[in-house]
Amino acid sequence: MKNISIWQDTVQCDNYAVLEENLDVDVLIIGGGITGCSTFYQFKDDKRKVALVEKNRIGSGASSRSSAKITFLQEDIYTKLTNIFDRDKAYLYYRASKEALKIADDIVSKENIDCDFKRSKSYLYTLDPLNIKKIEKEEKLLSSFGEKTTDIKKLPNGMRVESCFYVNNTYIFHPLKFIREIIKKSISDNHRVYENTKIIKIEKVNDYYKCYTTSNIISAKTVVFALHYPYFLFPYLMPLKCYLEKSFLVCSKVKKEYDFNAINIETPLKSMRYYDNHLLVVSSSCNLAFASNSRKMVKDLEDNTDITNYDYVWSNYDLMTFDHLPLIGFIDDNLILATGYNTWGNSNGILASVIIKDLINNKYNIYKELFDPKRGFNKQKLINYPLNIFSSAYSFIDSKINKNKAFYNGNPYFTKKDGKSIAVYKDDDGVEHIIYNRCPHLKCSLVFNEVEKTWDCPCHGSRFDLDGKCIMGPSNYNISYK
C-alpha cells in the first residue's frame, strides 16, 4: 500500500531550477499548485515579466492530493449560499462555477493537453431518509437556475441511495498532468518558474514589493499569493478567518470503472470517482483541530466505506471559509490572494486565474465582489469566529496532550535535548529519525501521522517528513534535528 496519491504515483512534473539571482518582474506568483500554475498560464502571451516560485516541487501541495473532480455540483452549496445570503448570490456562484468548467475545457482543448480530462456526470446523494428534503431543495434551486437535473434511485455502480439526482457536463481529470502541461506551455524567457524557492518575507517599498527568498530578492510590481495557506498573519489574519479541513482518501482496484462522480450530503462523507480501474473515495473529513489521530480517521473511513483493501491511502487539507465562498482578490495594493476553496479548488483555482488576470489588468470582473477577501461580516462569520478561536486553542492544547507515549505505543517518543522538545521515530529498519517537535509557523507541538509517517501540525496544517523537511503547509522552515 502506498502513502502517496495516485496522481503523485503516476506522474512526475518536470524539474525547474532554484532561483539563484535577484529578479525584477511585473508579476510574481507564489505557489505552484493549480491556482498558481493556472495564473501563470493566463500570462502566457503577455509581454510583461512573470515569475512563479514554488517552495517545494511544482504540484506538490494540495493540488496533487485531491479527488480531481471539476464540478459545479458541490454538495448543497447553493442552498447554503441562499440561506446565508440570498438566491442571487447563490446564482452568481453557480455562474462562476460553470464558467470555471468552461475555462478548464477551453484550456485543455486549445492547448491539446493530455490530462485524462473527461466529461462525467456528477451525482448528489443521501443515504439518510432525513436528508431527502435537502437533496430536493438543492435540486430545485439548480433547476430554477436553468440546470437540467435527473432523479435516480441507484448510482451507476449499483449503490442504493435514499435520494439522488445528477447533472451533466462536469469533468474529472489528472491534476498533475494538467499542471505539468500548462506550465510547459507557458514557460518562456519572460515567464520563468523556480522550484525549491520559498518566499519568507515581503516588504512594500513605494510602488513595488520586495519579496525575500532565503538568498535572493525578487522585486515585483504585483504579487499573487497562490500558496494555499499563507504563512503570514498580517495583513489578513488568516488563522482567525478560516479553518482547515482534513480528509483521508483511498484508492482501491475495481473490476469495472464507471465514468460518474458522486458526493453525499451528510456526515460521514463518501465522495467517489474512478481512475484507471481504481475507485477513489474521500471520507473522514473533519476540522483539522479534531483530526490528530490519523489511525482512527482511517479506521473510520474503512467503517464508513466498507473498503479495507486499498492500494493508496493519503490525506489532504483544504482551507474553509465561514460563508463557503473562496477568497480571491486584493488584500493590499497590488497584492492578490486566492485561496479558501472549501474543497473545490480545482474549479475555483482555475477560475481564480482569470479573475486575477482581470484584476491585474484593471478590467471589470463580475465576480470581484463575490469573492473579495475583504468582504464584510455576515451572521455565519459571527457565529463561527468564536468557534474557530476555540478550535485553534483546542488543537494547540491537544497537540501537547498527544505527546503521551501510550498514544503512540512508544514509537515515536518525545524527550528534551538542550532544553528543546524533540521527537524520535524508529522506522521499520531500526533507523532513528529525530526532529524538533515545534512547528516553526506558530509554535504548536506536532502530532505524528502514523498512516503517512509524517509530522503534522494540528493548528495550521504544516507537514514534515520523518527527517523534518517541510512538505506542505504554511511553515517556511524545516524541523530537522542537527
Ligand X SMILES: Cc1cc2nc3c(=O)[nH]c(=O)nc-3n(C[C@H](O)[C@H](O)[C@H](O)COP(=O)(O)OP(=O)(O)OC[C@H]3O[C@@H](n4cnc5c(N)ncnc54)[C@H](O)[C@@H]3O)c2cc1C
Residue ranges that bind ligand X, judged by CB under 6 A? 30-36, 53-56, 60-63, 66-70, 198-199, 226-228, 231, 247, 249, 282, 316-318, 339, 341, 343-347, 349, 476
Distances in Å between the alpha carbon of 222 and those of 24, 51, 356, 360?
A: 11, 11, 11, 8
Indicate the residue whose CB is closest to ligand X: 345
Closest to ligand X by CB, 120 or 384: 120
Q: How far is the CB of 429 from ligand X (least distance, A)?
A: 29
Minimum separation from the CB atom of position 319 to ligand X (A): 7
Q: How far apart are CA 361 and CA 48, in angstroms?
A: 11
Rounded-to-integer distance, Cα 408 and Cα 404, Å: 8
Of 132 and 286, CB closest to ligand X: 286
The nearest distance, CB 251 to ligand X, in angstroms, is 12
Min dist CB 430 to ligand X, Å, is 32
Closer residue to ligand X (CB): 103 or 249: 249
Q: 205: buried, middle or exposed (CB in 10 Å: 19+, 13-18, 0-12)? A: exposed
Instruction: Output the smallest distance, CB 259 to ligand X, in A.
Output: 15
Given the complex with ligand X, which of 63 and 384 has the nearer CB atom?
A: 63
Using DSSP's 3-state secondary structure scheme, residue 39 falls into: helix
Of 201, 257, 282, 262, the C-alpha closest to 30 is 201
Please identify, using beta-carbon distances, which residue of 55 and 357 lies nearer to ligand X: 55
Instruction: With beta carbons less than 8 A apart as the criterion, state whether 105 and 347 touch.
Output: no
User: For residues 92 and 238, which CB has a smaller minimum distance to ligand X in the complex?
Assistant: 238
Minimum Å gap between C-beta 245 and ligand X is 6
Residue whose CB is less far from ligand X, 170 or 403: 170
Confirm if 235 and 332 have CB atoms less than 8 A apart.
yes
Shortest approach of ligand X to residue 186 CB, angstroms?
Answer: 15
DSSP H helical ranges for 160-307: 175-186, 238-241, 294-305
CB 162 within 8 A of CB 128: yes
Sheet strands (E) in 15-162: 23-30, 50-53, 69-70, 118-126, 149-151
Any residues with CB less than 8 A from the CB of 314 and at least 6 apart, and which? Answer: 3, 4, 5, 65, 248, 249, 452
